[in-house]
A and B are shown apart, each in its own frame.
Chain A
């Protein structure tokens, strides 16, 4: 997987149901999604760990609302 924002958005999308997937874009506030929950958070953290080797913590998730903000945190932690 490459490190582009588009790939990251696709990664996040793929963790949601088809119904909600289409609503997810770069600037979507993930916390307003119907399926966003503590379980969904762990699924997303797990997938990001698998793809980027970065384990996000509570503070990271608290400070990121949008997919793009989360992407920037992942990139900064990866470097």
Chain B
């Protein structure tokens, strides 16, 4: 695992936008009443936000960024780097970050990057923008993390529909020599690259007529070749086995322990996984907030969304030391220890 610390990086603000289209899991078709109740209780998700066809992840992130920059009173001309972390870009090419630069009115001198990452994407993205700012001594940057992951899911896949939801977030980051260091512990298990995959539509397997044909996998799961496919048990196993050692190693190597940490913000995969991680780490549930009930699994956006919906007081994130930990597609795993100090927030935006 790659353990490293980055100095002189300050988180200045966080915001998020979700589609206003709210979908209830209580009215999902194709389930018996008892079965549905058990499902909702187990995954902990009652409602989800599903983007309509006219909303992309970039739109949600831009809305979040505009409001945040306004709140921070940042001059857009000072932003020199932009990272957009998503698996649902506007186009296969060009990357969305270039167009986002233009749509946000950022200067041409602002370097932009697209990062293809999912559930671990917030921490991956934070490590990249932090490293970039710290090494280049760039003063201000924007990290946009979001997905309209529901777009990739078959409308006939009852194994994934109840879980996933859409959201876009913006995090403002700056170079500040008085900021406390951020420690990261990041790893990738590429052998499981196909545990979560959209198998067709890329250069490896371009779409053809067969891609549009339904394949029935039983148990109310029917997909086409270009839909998201998840080996649920493999991902579940990965989460149960790998997240806790990653966090424990991070704490050890950063000379911290769980008592020193005010909050643990895990990727909101589902409640079964979160409960298991919490018990294995032996941490009090009051330190492990969740946004699953009302927002479901919003892919890479879950960590900032969980902070925004649980840990805000008087317009700021509660000053605290947090462990942030994301895990998923790749399979990837990334955790960080971050000090939140006067981090500005905005109201949750609905598009």
Contact = CB atoms under 8 A, between A and B. Distances in A.
Size class of the B contact interface (CB-based, 8 Å): 10 to 19
A49 B276 contact: yes
Contacts of B241: 55
Contact of B232 (A17, A38, A49, A55): A38
Interface in A31-46: 37-39, 41-43, 45-46
B279 interface: yes
B237 A17 contact: no
B240 interface: yes
Interface string A56-75: 11100100000000000000
B268 to A, nearest CB: 16
Interface stretch (B3-11, B16-24, B34-42, B138-146): B34-42
Given A38-B219, A43-B272, A46-B240, A58 B234 contact: yes
Contact of B279 (A41, A43, A50, A55): A50
B135 to A, nearest CB: 39
In this complex, which of A41, A49, A56, A61 has the most chain B Cβ atoms within 10 angstroms of its Cβ?
A49
Nearest to A59: B233
A39 B276 contact: no
A39 B39 contact: yes
Interface residues of A, number: 16
A49 B39 CA distance: 20
Given A17-B34, A45-B236, A57-B233, A38 B159 contact: yes
B200 to A, nearest CB: 22
Nearest to A58: B233
B231 interface: yes
A42 B232 contact: yes
B279 A42 contact: no
27 contacts: A17-B34, A17-B38, A37-B219, A38-B232, A39-B38, A39-B39, A39-B43, A42-B42, A42-B272, A43-B42, A43-B272, A45-B236, A45-B237, A45-B240, A46-B240, A46-B272, A46-B275, A49-B240, A49-B276, A55-B240, A55-B241, A56-B237, A57-B233, A57-B234, A58-B231, A58-B233, A61-B233
Interface of B: 34, 38-39, 42-43, 159, 219, 231-234, 236-237, 240-241, 272, 275-276, 279
